Chain A
């Protein structure tokens, strides 16, 4: 785990494709700033762009063909991906995720990262993003049937609701399904009711305890967990909502 309060400055570890970036204002309203070298590209989810240099060119379109785009859509992302290219010289770009929360950087080295629905913010060239059917696992987790899968070589930025905790799992770990933001594909996982309970108490916790389903991670790899989830927050806010009464 790392100190989340300081801004993390990305280094150009691999001079070839690595993106020069800053993630500032962490963790509550994190903003991703990217400095593109001439000709460099970044692909971001629609409406994430907050500011940009006039030297950058924006192109919107489906990427990776219909199959990949549909996969992304099922994974809670847009069919469309915006591509920013530093066409007329170097330029800067600020990207802001939709929800209040943190932004994380991950460098893909030929491996894959699984992302929860809607967790994608941006990626560099060389990264493929698609939906990955989760079958019964996804169905019962209540978090969607499809996870996003980012693979290839390059930089990936994902966002959370609330701050992000990085957990390096070495043996096994349980995370409530709604708190999972991302995990490395070296981790095996299945969705279960909290293990170690008698069948009766399993049902009780599931329906009344509010601690229903957990992701049971096995093997080795990193899991990113968010410190808040949207649904309980909405429930907390709900009683305070002003209600408009109908006049008739």
Chain B
């Protein structure tokens, strides 16, 4: 920028009415020339100029004369760089110092801002985690009867995907698996109730309180009863670990936390019904799925069934996913199958040897009946 540029600004001087005035500033050869809107002229030689930055924005440049009898000011961002070059660089030293100060100040305030943001995020995250912890623990304190009530209401409001199966072969086969697993279920004892539904969906889900829905599609897809037992153990674990009710508590938010602590569960039930209708009650997050897998492995081993059967079932679905009709349902609600298989196998290995006890059911017969519930066997 060459000398002679003009800027809009102002000045402070006792010679002006009101001691201040708006002015046009011009960078001359020897100093800054200012002319007020009323035509009064002032000039400030570069040699006597004391520069300062301030103002409400922190970016206004002040040029003080000797004894501060005259002060010129301007907020134009181009004013300071122009001053550096004006008067053959006589103000260059001062401008450089001010620019450095401003840069340092900016860096510092940016750091302060980032720090404040970080603290804010940490506090927010801490509050969220604390709340999640508090709700899950207040859920632990609730009696199991609430799970059962919620499960019952949800079951009534959820649409079943097909007719209920009463075929004694299938019912007995599933009963055998459940009664084998039941004594080894953790937590408060609950009554597990399996409803077999005739639908080509490879899935099973569990409602709070131990109400399990098992589709014939899954029985058809499974290659061994242990695989079905693995799935059942996994679903039972959702119930004993009270995942459904925790999910509702999280959905309800802060009010739920307070209500649960006070023992008011009416809101809980209302939300359960709402969630159940949208199928959200039976979908779990990854942490909950992993926890159920781990619990299932423990239950299977304790019940004398190969815990790796669950992983085998996952492998089966993964491999033949496209060929098994309805497998998409399981894949959608139970993601990351590969990771989970590995987890299950590692856990099983850690448990070491278990005492296998064979199941009494005829799996071929069960498979046949799964394909056609109510089938009359030619040879009993």
A contacts, CB < 8 Å to B: 14, 108-112, 114, 132, 135-136, 153, 168, 183-189, 218-220
Contact = CB atoms under 8 A, between A and B. Distances in A.
24 contacts: A14-B37, A108-B22, A109-B10, A109-B23, A109-B37, A110-B10, A132-B56, A136-B116, A153-B22, A185-B60, A185-B75, A186-B10, A186-B12, A186-B54, A186-B60, A186-B62, A187-B55, A187-B56, A188-B56, A218-B54, A219-B54, A219-B55, A219-B62, A220-B71
Given A109-B23, A110-B8, A185-B55, 6 more contacts: A109-B21, A109-B37, A114-B56, A135-B113, A185-B57, A218-B54
Contacts of B9: 110
A186 B19 CA distance: 13
Interface of B: 8-10, 12, 19-23, 37, 54-58, 60, 62, 71, 73, 75, 112-113, 116
Contacts of B8: 110
A186 to B, nearest CB: 5
A135 B60 CA distance: 18
Contacts of A185: 55-57, 60, 75
A184 B73 CA distance: 12
Contact of A186 (B37, B73, B113): B73
Nearest to A188: B54
Contacts of A219: 54-55, 62
B56 A111 contact: no
Contacts of A168: 19
The residue among B22, B37, B55, B75 with the most chain A CB atoms within 10 A of its own CB is B55
Contacts of B20: 184
A168 B37 CA distance: 21
Nearest to A187: B56
A111 B57 contact: no
Nearest to A151: B75
B162 to A, nearest CB: 54
Contacts of A110: 8-10, 22
Contacts of A109: 10, 21-23, 37
Nearest to B73: A186
A223 B360 CA distance: 93
Contacts of B113: 135
Given A14-B37, A110-B22, A186 B55 contact: yes
The residue among A135, A136, A185, A218 with the most chain B CB atoms within 10 A of its own CB is A185
B75 to A, nearest CB: 7
B208 to A, nearest CB: 40
A109 B12 CA distance: 13
Contacts of A136: 112, 116
A108 B73 CA distance: 15
A70 B291 CA distance: 49
A90 B55 CA distance: 39
Contacts of A184: 20, 56
A29 B169 CA distance: 93
B267 to A, nearest CB: 26
A93 to B, nearest CB: 26
A168 to B, nearest CB: 7
Contacts of B58: 188
Contacts of A112: 56, 75
B63 to A, nearest CB: 12
